[in-house]
Structure 1
Amino acid sequence: MPAYARPAGLKQRRGVAGKTAVFDGASVVAEETDWYLLDLLRLWWRYGSSFIRLQMWLEDIMEKFIRIYKYQAHGYAFSSLEELLESLGGSGFVNMTRRPLSDSLLELGVSQRFIDEVVAPVIRLNYGQNVSVPAFVGAVSLASAQSNMWAVEGGNKLLCEGLLELANANLLRARVTSVRTLRSGEALQYELTLAGEGPERRTAAYDAVVVAAPLRAGAGISFPDWASPSVPGEGEWQGAGVTLVHGYLNTSLFGFRDARLFPYAGVLTTAAPALFFNSVAGVYPVEVPPGFRRKRAHEAAVYKVFSPAALTGEQLKTLFRRRSGGRTLATAARPARIEWAGSAMEMSAVAAKNIALLAYRRWNGRSLQVNREDLLRAIKTEL
């Protein structure tokens, strides 16, 4: 992300300090304090060496994953998710996309209690799912729980807008309805059919077309010249609800009758059946001004609630003492292809650069830089 943001003149958003807790439906079972060493001692006392084992596992995975930036800097690309993962971490990375996170962690010696009270809440927050997600997805999710995450001042959407402007691209504001092939001698090109406010129209010929959208039933894009286009399996789409509420959090639900004593900026939850939400946290502006102070629980504030489904009126009454407004967005989302391995903006950036390199290498016939084996040695030889 930072490497793409700098050319676009974008800056990192200021962080807003705040503590997080984990709620199991009856009480707070884990919490952050103002003292890092105290947090470590509490983790050790309750979970033994599980935290250290998890940290070492994540560091090993991230150390291997960052090789992709060196590979891409030297112009190498991969034609499939499996080829990319194999180049980074061998068969171990590929197997992590097929094995549940819980199984991998238990094999490492991580306790079931730690999985239930620390790992599961993070997965519920990021993906709205449980610890049966693939291990690679879980590793990306857990890595995102670290304090050094990056966001763009003004909103991450500015990254796409800035890069589009830098590319000096001709943006056609229309919906693509079909992709057709055009042949001129040996050359193969592609033509798009667009639908907008007026009648359908066809574009000029393109040397390459990238479909950066989920190819699922009802997507509205046809490929008439392909007998059976290669489309990822449908899979199940994960339902989720996001509710924005302006009001006063019901801190007594978490064991704090006096809201002024509630110290947390956000609360995650375990997979207890009675819990109807995954997390609740204050919402901060995309541009954090100097001296910004987050509102405390006894003050009216804007909260974001993640839940498995849209919240009912009764559920909102349980979670908030009083509210003056709110909006619920129901979404259906499932990571696709490279994001299926681990859905995050960073994965989207890696995938986008890979497909750009792949398209360029295939267009100019430099196939030796696609799916190259033993890349670390090849790069050292180049240097």
Structure 2
Amino acid sequence: MQQILLIAVAILSSLQVILTQEPRSPPSKIAIVGAGIGGTSAAYFLRQKFGKDVRIDIFEKGVVGGRLSTVEVDGNHYEAGGSIIHPLNLHMKAFVKDLGLTALSLPKNQLGVYNGDEFVFQESECFLMNIINKVWKYGMNFLRLSMWVEDILEKFMRIYQYQRFDYSFSSMESMFHALGGKDFSSKLNTTLSEAMQNYGFSQKFIDDIVTPTMRINYGQGVEVNSFVGAVSMSCLDPGQWAVEGGNKLVCSRLIDASEAQLIQGSVTSVQENVHITKSGDTVRLYEVRYQTSNGAGQDFYDIIIIATPLNKAISKIEFQGFNPPIETFSKPYIQVVTTVVHGKINASFFGCSKPCHFGVSEIFTTDNPKHFVSSISRISPVTFVPESHLSNSSGYEIWRMFSPELLTDDQLGLLFESYEGVGAKKWLAYPQYTNAPEKLPPIMLHHGIYYVNSIEWAASAMEICAVSAKNVALLSYHRWYDMDTHVDQDDLAERLKSEL
């Protein structure tokens, strides 16, 4: 009896200590490196979680938007980076609604796939004829593709429900396992080629449709992991859209909504500083040194969010004095050149003899060494302009090309009979995915340093970055307040069924 009383007293004493402990104060300052969609959406979600009193600084050495950018030709602006948004991208849809932006429906282009000698696949204006043509050439492969992509996206979309209930993950591996178990995690460890062959796709369909789609979206073939392959194939779904005025507007509006301070400068180094307060508590702060047009600066932060690729060709942040060292990843990013031309397409280059009705408005290219572009697409400005203002009686239209290198005058002369306006942008667009299995960088680089772009090595897209940004915001919040019950939990799908 005496032992029971002693245990009860101990329990009550512990409860009293817990109840009388003051809750931890929110962080004073959070630094975010990078003002692309990952960094700006992280600021937005961090403000929602930590409240109005925390100061959020966003460091950006270039322009707000990062890889969401435009090219100007003849006074109009055209998407140069991330240009399409899938109808199931729920974070992007919410941003547009909440930030007072307008969604712009994109017209359905007529697709042709060119192998260097002829079009191996070509759509027509007739919906029924397209179905007949697809079945005639590829059997049920298009239907099988739709089902395969839908199955993968359905599992990935569980992340929205997890995030709605504030659950987060400390690694990409734990996130993917929670989304669909070992089967879903295996998508990161299996090449797209292997996955599609195992699923029963014909080699002709892979060569004619899948590989060209990978080339336009990621500049690579079918040896990437099968998850990024499914993300790429989803661009063939109907209902793709963009943001009126340019997708990069989302980033600037997110900064405004988060009330973050934008610092135009380049972060040069991060170093941990540990201080012992008078009460004996340990305070861990990070010293951030940076360079702006006004000179060098430094400040101290409780939490740091890295939202730019830790690749030496893109960012040159030095992490000083960390033990073990924080790794900067040497994996390369692929260069893409976006070229926008106001001109008249040279149909004869694609085997259409004069007189020629050139019906396609989007051209994908197969894996052929002589191709110097991966795609050619007819596009419209990011802000509505009457068609009559963009073309003329000579057949001039606006075309966008993706290529690995800057196009020469000779190459432009092959693609166009004549042209007047040209704009180009060169950028490091997405990771070079190696043969699966893909080793993903960590999300947690240190106790209070988080890496949004870790997810890019699973797949790179606007919505994917926003998903990662919200995960990082939730993870940093839970770890700040020691809320382990909302990090890396198993059986979330079943648990949420009971909560609902």
TM-score, normalised to structure 2, is: 0.72
Deviation larger for 310-319 or 104-113: 310-319
**1:154: which partner in 2?**
245
- Matched residue SS, 1:332: strand
Deviation larger for 215-224 or 371-380: 215-224
When residues 94 and 292 of structure 1 are mapped into structure 2, their CA distance, relative to the original with a 3 A threshold, is farther
- Say yes or no: does 1:72 pair with 2:163: yes
**1:117: which partner in 2?**
208
When residues 229 and 72 of structure 1 are mapped into structure 2, their CA distance, relative to the original with a 3 A threshold, is farther
**2:287: which partner in 1?**
191
- Matched residue SS, 1:77: coil
The match for 1:301 among 397, 410, 413 is 397
Matches within 5 A, 1:315-334: 315-334=411-430
When residues 248 and 179 of structure 1 are mapped into structure 2, their CA distance, relative to the original with a 3 A threshold, is same
5+ residue gaps, structure 2: 1-91, 276-280, 432-452
CA contact (8 A) 1:83 1:371 kept: yes
Q: Which has the larger radius of gyration?
A: 2
- Say yes or no: does 1:381 pair with 2:472: no
Give distance in 2, aligned partners of 1:117 and 1:56: 19
The match for 1:28 among 87, 102, 119 is 119
Amino acid at match of 1:170: Q
1:69-111 CA distance string (max 9 Å, x none): 0000100111111111111122222221222111111111100
1:262-303 CA distance string (max 9 Å, x none): 122211111122222111112311123588897599511222
Amino acid at match of 2:219: G
Give distance in 2, aligned partners of 1:147 and 1:167: 32
- Say yes or no: does 1:352 pair with 2:443: no
When residues 54 and 291 of structure 1 are mapped into structure 2, their CA distance, relative to the original with a 3 A threshold, is same
Give distance in 1, aligned partners of 2:337 and 2:252: 27
**2:188: which partner in 1?**
97
The match for 1:2 among 93, 103, 106 is 93
- Say yes or no: does 1:131 pair with 2:248: no
**2:459: which partner in 1?**
342
CA contact (8 A) 2:105 2:241 kept: no
- Say yes or no: does 1:86 pair with 2:181: no
Deviation larger for 292-301 or 336-345: 292-301
Give distance in 1, aligned partners of 2:480 and 2:106: 43
- Matched residue SS, 2:241: coil
> How many pairs were matched up?
382
Amino acid at match of 2:493: L
- Say yes or no: does 1:208 pair with 2:303: yes
**1:62: which partner in 2?**
153
| 1:26 CA displacement | 1.1
Give distance in 1, aligned partners of 2:223 and 2:392: 35
1:223-251 CA distance string (max 9 Å, x none): 11313444364223323222222221101
Amino acid at match of 1:34: E
**1:312: which partner in 2?**
408
Give distance in 2, aligned partners of 1:227 and 1:297: 67
| 1:355 CA displacement | 0.7
- Matched residue SS, 2:250: helix
When residues 356 and 328 of structure 1 are mapped into structure 2, their CA distance, relative to the original with a 3 A threshold, is same
**1:239: which partner in 2?**
335
Deviation larger for 163-172 or 236-245: 236-245
Decide which structure has greater strand share.
2
When residues 280 and 40 of structure 1 are mapped into structure 2, their CA distance, relative to the original with a 3 A threshold, is same
CA contact (8 A) 2:112 2:364 kept: yes
- Matched residue SS, 1:173: strand
CA contact (8 A) 2:105 2:239 kept: no
Give distance in 2, aligned partners of 1:132 and 1:115: 12
When residues 195 and 10 of structure 1 are mapped into structure 2, their CA distance, relative to the original with a 3 A threshold, is same
Amino acid at match of 1:365: D
**2:322: which partner in 1?**
226
CA contact (8 A) 1:20 1:265 kept: yes
Give distance in 2, aligned partners of 1:77 and 1:37: 45
CA contact (8 A) 2:265 2:291 kept: yes
Give distance in 2, aligned partners of 1:332 and 1:93: 28
Give distance in 2, aligned partners of 1:76 and 1:324: 53
Deviation larger for 273-282 or 14-23: 14-23
1:355-375 CA distance string (max 9 Å, x none): 111111111111110111110
CA contact (8 A) 1:260 1:298 kept: no
CA contact (8 A) 1:14 1:288 kept: no
Give distance in 2, aligned partners of 1:298 and 1:370: 61
Amino acid at match of 1:322: S
Moved over 4 A (4+): 289-298
